[in-house]
């Protein structure tokens, strides 16, 4: 049975959208999203348990065919001012690890196949990662990366070990965000930073596309944040909310336009996310037009971001000086 209270503020919940299904990878079943009447936070119902979620990432997420060479080739090295400007223009600054600096010891939670760790090492940071998906274990081993598999609590990192912790599109997958961030804080040094990105439930695209919004992504996404619930989360976990901004990657806008024209079926992996499953119903010519259109639309996306209606939050929380709050 779904919870009757908001995970963040314990406010009452009401249905926001019903009957969603996994339109990416074909996990069976229908899911609803309930919204808090006080802070606006959304949560998936029914919510799969942590053991089942860990299994479906390995069984359903399409990383089985990923190769170490392709991971290394996709790493983006962002040392120059021009590279940082380009990251702002196309929205790739959404990646939390982009905001770490040289000389820091950094933990990237949910590091996937390790692209983020390669990028951190390239700028002179000491990079560590955690990941659930066992498919990437041989990849990170081949790349020589320091990745621990399993939940953060299962890894024996010393308290106060990291200058920064980064989480890019991870917090929406966490069953208990408050407990998770409280534990993460113990691994940060005093005044250490937590950089996170996760979907914005009040985004322009969500309001415009409804059920076709690509960031519902049930049952993998358990949490859907609003500005109010992000700030309430900081209060509950005793972090200082240094910045709370929104970003819409140009790639996301392209994917949203593609999704608007696709036909999805419950229980079936879709070619949009799994090319080996067949042919997309959107023509190659349209895809080229959508890609060019997304680039041309970039100035509008940045304005939408400034208005707080971008598709994803990008936030920095900071641990207070002194002992970890209780």
Are 47 and 175 within 8 A, CB to CB? Answer: yes
Asked if residue 162 lies in contact with residue 187, where contact means CB atoms within 8 angstroms, the answer is yes
> Which of 261, 256, 250 is closest to 296 using CA atoms?
250
- For range 311-324, the mean pLDDT: 90
Domains delineated in the chain: 13-318 (3.40.50.150)
HEC string for 104-147 = CEEEEECCCCCHHHHHHHHCCCEEEEEECCHHHHHHHHHCCCCE
Q: Specify the pLDDT at position 172.
A: 97
pLDDT in tens, 77-115: 666 778 788 888 999 889 999 999 999 999 999 998 899
Q: Encoding tokens for residue 213?
A: 């919004």
Sequence-ordered list of residues with C-beta below 8 angstroms from that of 257, at least 6 positions apart, any chain: 290, 293, 294
Q: With contact defined as beta carbons under 8 Å apart, do 37 and 12 qualify?
A: yes
Percent of the chain with pLDDT over 90: 74
DSSP per-residue codes, 161-205: -EEEEEEES-GGG-S-HHHHHHHHHHTEEEEEEEEEEEEBTT-HH
Q: What is the pTM (predicted TM-score) of this model?
A: 0.91
Q: d(Cα 6, Cα 34) in Å, to the nearest integer?
A: 9
């Amino acid at each position: 049975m779904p919870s009757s209270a908001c995970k963040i503020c314990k406010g009452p919940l009401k249905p926001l959208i019903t009957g969603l299904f996994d339109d990416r990878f074909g996990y069976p079943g229908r899911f609803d999203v309930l919204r808090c009447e006080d802070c606006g936070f959304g949560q998936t119902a029914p919510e799969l348990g942590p053991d089942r979620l860990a299994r479906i990432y390995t069984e359903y997420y399409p990383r089985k065919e990923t190769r170490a060479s392709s991971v290394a080739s996709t790493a983006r090295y962002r040392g120059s001012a021009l590279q940082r400007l380009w990251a702002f223009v196309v929205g790739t600054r959404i990646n939390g690890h982009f905001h770490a600096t040289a000389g820091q010891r950094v933990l990237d939670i949910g590091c996937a196949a390790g692209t983020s760790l390669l990028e951190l090492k390239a700028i002179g940071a000491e990079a560590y990662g955690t990941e659930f998906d066992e498919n990437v274990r041989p990849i990170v081993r081949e790349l020589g990366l320091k990745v621990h598999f399993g939940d953060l609590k299962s890894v024996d990192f010393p308290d106060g070990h990291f200058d920064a912790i980064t989480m890019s599109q991870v917090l929406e997958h966490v069953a208990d965000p408050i407990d998770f961030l409280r534990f993460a804080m113990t691994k940060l040094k005093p005044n250490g930073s937590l950089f996170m990105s996760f979907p914005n439930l009040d985004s322009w695209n969500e309001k415009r596309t409804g059920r076709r919004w690509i960031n519902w992504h049930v049952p993998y996404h358990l949490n859907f944040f609003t500005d109010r619930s992000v700030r309430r989360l900081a209060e509950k976990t005793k972090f200082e909310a240094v910045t709370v901004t929104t970003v819409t990657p140009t790639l996301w806008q392209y994917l949203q336009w593609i999704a608007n024209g696709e036909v999805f079926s419950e229980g079936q992996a879709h070619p949009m996310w799994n090319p080996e499953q067949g042919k997309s119903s959107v023509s190659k010519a349209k895809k080229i037009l959508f890609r060019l259109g997304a680039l041309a639309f970039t100035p509008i996306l940045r304005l939408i971001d400034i208005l707080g209606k971008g598709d994803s939050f990008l936030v920095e929380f900071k641990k207070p000086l002194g002992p970890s709050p209780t």
